[in-house]
Structure 1
């Protein structure tokens, strides 16, 4: 887990660059100070020469004075130019450091939220499983009640297994240790069986509906597509509000496969539509959050979609809610 948290989502400025920038600022400051001192000395010398020239008469005096004025003007502009460069580099350095610190703070906050959420996600089902097993062990309860407890314990176990699989899958994909195992399959049949088997209760209660074009075939990694579907539908179940969720699969133009999940929740602000696919990102404060989650589900979906050469986006679902759209190239081999 520690290795998982230590990976970064951005490239911070290298330490050598910061030291080089600081050294340059100091050198520029010293040089500018030297130029100011030198300018003062030149001004003093020029004043003395002006006094000598004041004894000259005619065109010669005018020529000498013009040359001295030009020399003084060039010196002044050179000092001002060096000062401007120094100030610009200094401001640029402050901006780079500020940006780096802001990113570090964002990642630290996301990691804190991840630790809080993962602790809750692991502790809650474990506590429930323990209580159910203790009840089964210590009490003589009717067979129907025992069956209900077994089913609940199995559900909590599956939830834990899914969480651990997501964590391991993210780590493998990021490290490049997950080659795609493509196989030609009927995606329409696979998706229908997967959703009907996993979300039977939601389908029965009309909380979820399927719109699947028949006989869409492609070569795809079955485990990866399974993870894409489950994470997107789970996300819709968590945040989709009280309306029905729609799961669609169709063949689009340019021989692309479109898989989409539409909900009727609050939707996602435009400012966060890209952030939600970042690692650990979750909206709001984890200390007061009511919805379960770890902030890696959508990030994992993006990684798996991109490994297949596809893209994922989130759009507004009219009149309200969000539409997660996955576009995958159709592969026959």
Structure 2
């Protein structure tokens, strides 16, 4: 055995289950201790009071019975009556004079002795008609308590004959049987309490397992999350706070799983989006570099293609930078009072060349609405929405933009007559790098970030964006933002 080796601490309180069982057991133990004390006290009090009330009446009856013999000084008659009374009550009978000196003892042991017990003084002082007290006395030889101690009650009462106090009666009666009964009751109750406590601890263990099981499931799922597995779910039934916590955990797990999948998609998409134009640029550049006597027309064509691929890269990087800036909680919003219709007109003007290529008409319903906003970010969001409508609308179609005031809100709608979005895809269109039709999105130059940027800009302005779409019938994006008030 290694000297100085530390003993491992008992991990009784290291788990919720252990804590519940220990606390549950302690609560029942404390409760049983108090109940045991209360039952013992009540039982002892009841039995003792009943015994004392009964024997007090007997003592008064004995005093009446001995009065004549005591007053007449008939020692023989008195002793005979005392023996009879001693046998009747099951105790020791002593007759004392009014000064406390023993005139006669049924045990014939204390004759002539002066006794000064409190119970005797109570009678001498006329403070009580019957007095009693508890005493631990030595057992008499040959008795049930031979050579042992036992508890006895000393009863005293005046001996009255013809309205004159002629003496004091002292009766000593064992009450050990009551004490033994109380002790036995305590022991029996303690045994029952222990058995009940053990049963309660077993029930507590079952309850603790039932309570801690879902927590253990969530702990295991969280440990899996720490290793990158976000697919774990916990199965919790019933109706309680833990069930609600389990449901919340499952929602969080699902959300994290979606975020992780989006991250993987981002890496894949971003790599592809960056690699495709770079590969094209490399091929075009190598063609010009290693091919001799390249015609000027080919140079222009290849350089034009290289320029287009660079523009594509620039667009992707710009979207990524815009989204990163919008995600930054420390970003400063440059809020000014702006005419939204003017901003929309500028956006439409910049997108007219793209619309004219497909002969798409952009309609602007002008209502002269103004609000406080970050002009640059709002322009970015509107350009993304309008250009998205142009890209996914067939030739000869249209895109309509309208802004209006409703109560304390500004409502901006961008509608198109495009291909629409399937119902099952609509809940995901604002997710980053999500594309309804990936192949078509690449053909149109989409990065999958445009609508995510729009949503983030709208949220920064305290608003929300919703989509309504039907396949082959077009889509409508509705932005709702608080109006605000112009600065004085």
TM beyond 0.5:
yes
Among 295, 314, 321, the alignment partner of 1:140 is 295
Decide whether aligned partners of structure 1 residues 28 and 237 sit closer, same or farther in structure 2, where only a CA change above 3 A counts.
farther
Point out where structure 1 has 5 or more consecutive residues left out of the alignment.
1-19, 36-59
Q: CA deviation at 1:253?
A: 0.7
In structure 2, the partner of 1:220 is: 373
Q: CA deviation at 1:314?
A: 2.1
Among 272, 275, 281, the alignment partner of 1:123 is 275
Q: CA deviation at 1:167?
A: 1.7
Is the partner of 2:407 in helix, strand or coil?
helix
Is the 1:268–1:322 contact (alpha carbons within 8 Å) kept by the matching residues of 2? Answer: no
Among 432, 441, 445, the alignment partner of 1:291 is 441
Which protein is richer in helix relative to its size?
A: 1
Among 171, 192, 202, the alignment partner of 1:79 is 202
Is the partner of 1:218 in helix, strand or coil?
strand
Decide whether aligned partners of structure 1 residues 190 and 106 sit closer, same or farther in structure 2, where only a CA change above 3 A counts.
closer
| Higher alpha-carbon Rg | 2
Decide whether aligned partners of structure 1 residues 222 and 318 sit closer, same or farther in structure 2, where only a CA change above 3 A counts.
same
Q: CA deviation at 1:68?
A: 6.2
Decide whether aligned partners of structure 1 residues 204 and 245 sit closer, same or farther in structure 2, where only a CA change above 3 A counts.
same
Among 263, 267, 270, the alignment partner of 1:111 is 263
Pairing of 1:234-273 with structure 2 (within 5 A): 234-236=387-389, 244=397, 246-263=399-416, 264-269=418-423, 273=427
Pairing of 1:189-204 with structure 2 (within 5 A): 189-203=342-356
Among 451, 462, 474, the alignment partner of 1:309 is 462
In structure 2, the partner of 1:188 is: 341
Decide whether aligned partners of structure 1 residues 82 and 216 sit closer, same or farther in structure 2, where only a CA change above 3 A counts.
same
For residues 315 and 420 of structure 2, the distance between their equivalents in structure 1, rounded to whole angstroms, comes to 26
In structure 2, the partner of 1:40 is: none
Larger RCO (CA within 8 A; separation ≥ 6): 1
Is the partner of 1:91 in helix, strand or coil?
helix
For residues 224 and 272 of structure 1, the distance between their equivalents in structure 2, rounded to whole angstroms, comes to 24
Q: Deviations over 1:60-87 (max 9, x none)?
A: 9999989966764554244223322223
Among 176, 187, 196, the alignment partner of 2:329 is 176
Is the partner of 1:252 in helix, strand or coil?
strand
Which protein is richer in strand relative to its size?
A: 2
Decide whether aligned partners of structure 1 residues 29 and 92 sit closer, same or farther in structure 2, where only a CA change above 3 A counts.
same
Is the partner of 1:180 in helix, strand or coil?
coil
Is the 2:21–2:208 contact (alpha carbons within 8 Å) kept by the matching residues of 1? Answer: no
Q: Does 1:24 align with 2:147?
A: no
For residues 113 and 315 of structure 1, the distance between their equivalents in structure 2, rounded to whole angstroms, comes to 26
RMSD across aligned positions (CA): 4.5
Q: Deviations over 1:134-174 (max 9, x none)?
A: 7788743559x94x766655544333223222222222232
Decide whether aligned partners of structure 1 residues 281 and 119 sit closer, same or farther in structure 2, where only a CA change above 3 A counts.
closer
Question: Greater CA deviation, 213-222 or 203-212?
Answer: 203-212
Q: CA deviation at 1:91?
A: 1.9
Q: CA deviation at 1:179?
A: 1.1
Decide whether aligned partners of structure 1 residues 129 and 174 sit closer, same or farther in structure 2, where only a CA change above 3 A counts.
same
Among 206, 211, 224, the alignment partner of 1:88 is 211
Is the 1:256–1:328 contact (alpha carbons within 8 Å) kept by the matching residues of 2? Answer: yes
Pairing of 1:25-64 with structure 2 (within 5 A): 27=18
Decide whether aligned partners of structure 1 residues 96 and 182 sit closer, same or farther in structure 2, where only a CA change above 3 A counts.
same
Decide whether aligned partners of structure 1 residues 140 and 285 sit closer, same or farther in structure 2, where only a CA change above 3 A counts.
closer
For residues 456 and 449 of structure 2, the distance between their equivalents in structure 1, rounded to whole angstroms, comes to 10
Is the partner of 2:205 in helix, strand or coil?
helix
In structure 2, the partner of 1:45 is: none
Question: Greater CA deviation, 304-313 or 200-209?
Answer: 200-209
Taking structure 2 as the reference length, what is the TM-score of the superposition? 0.47
